[in-house]
Amino acid sequence: GENVEQHPSTLSVQEGDSAVIKCTYSDSASNYFPWYKQELGKGPQLIIDIRSNVGEKKDQRIAVTLNKTAKHFSLHITETQPEDSAVYFCAASRGGTYKYIFGTGTRLKVLA
Amino acid sequence: EAGVAQSPRYKIIEKRQSVAFWCNPISGHATLYWYQQILGQGPKLLIQFQNNGVVDDSQLPKDRFSAERLKGVDSTLKIQPAKLEDSAVYLCASSLATGQYEQYFGPGTRLTVT
């Protein structure tokens, strides 16, 4: 079945620096890739998503890139702020039931 | 707009006991999901409902887990009997429909089985 690998598991950056989180998926039929942010004690919240017909998408300080050939996608956060500290999950989905397969998460710490 | 509501927020039970979780999705959302999130891992889908019908329950341990969504709104997830390895956060999510729509998550129920 589909598998999604996510790296790194933890990431510490200085405030104002950039952070990059990478995911690799196994199912070449996957065509939708959301990214979720989970703060302590809360459920995950969608921050950005990308579909397979697009190579890059930006929303203010957040961007996602997709390489279908290599089957990997990445989350880029620029000008990081302390409130960006959280656990980030990538996911992959395909047609049919559109089930999300989540990665194992990256704990991002932004140091003030 | 009210979000996805879940209760209880925390539950501690002994192994072999039973437990039930409740979820109220966002009004108008046809699709409801139950996920299991073990500490340090990503959420894993247990069951997905479209209205009151099951779309996917392939990863639900049916010998001990059951779920229902009567009238296509609220849902309950039950575990009977619980095992130590069931300790996890159980997340409920909802979306407008089945498809690649945004899933809105509730705060989860943290279950500890001792």
pLDDT tens track for B39-84: 999 999 999 999 989 999 999 999 999 999 988 899 999 999 999 9
Across chain B, what does the average pLDDT equal? 94
Interatomic CA distance for residues B107 and B63, integer angstroms: 26
Give the best residue of B36, B56, B105, B110 to mutate against chain A (max A CB count within 10 A).
Answer: B105
Q: Which residues of B touch A (CB under 8 A)?
A: 4, 40-45, 48, 55-56, 91, 93, 98-100, 102-103, 105-108
A32·B41 Cβ contact <8 A: no
Confidence of residue B1 (pLDDT cuts 50, 70, 90): low
Does any CB of chain B come closer than 8 Å to the CB of residue A3?
A: no
Chain B residue with minimum CA distance to A102: B42
pLDDT in single tens digits along all 112 residues of chain A: 789 999 999 999 999 999 999 999 999 999 999 999 999 989 999 999 999 888 999 999 999 999 999 999 999 999 999 999 999 999 999 877 788 999 999 999 999 9
**Chain A to chain B, count of Cβ pairs less than 8 Å apart?**
52
How much of chain B is helix, strand and coil, in % rounded to 5? 5, 50, 45
Interatomic CA distance for residues A106 and A104, integer angstroms: 7
Interatomic CA distance for residues B45 and B59, integer angstroms: 7
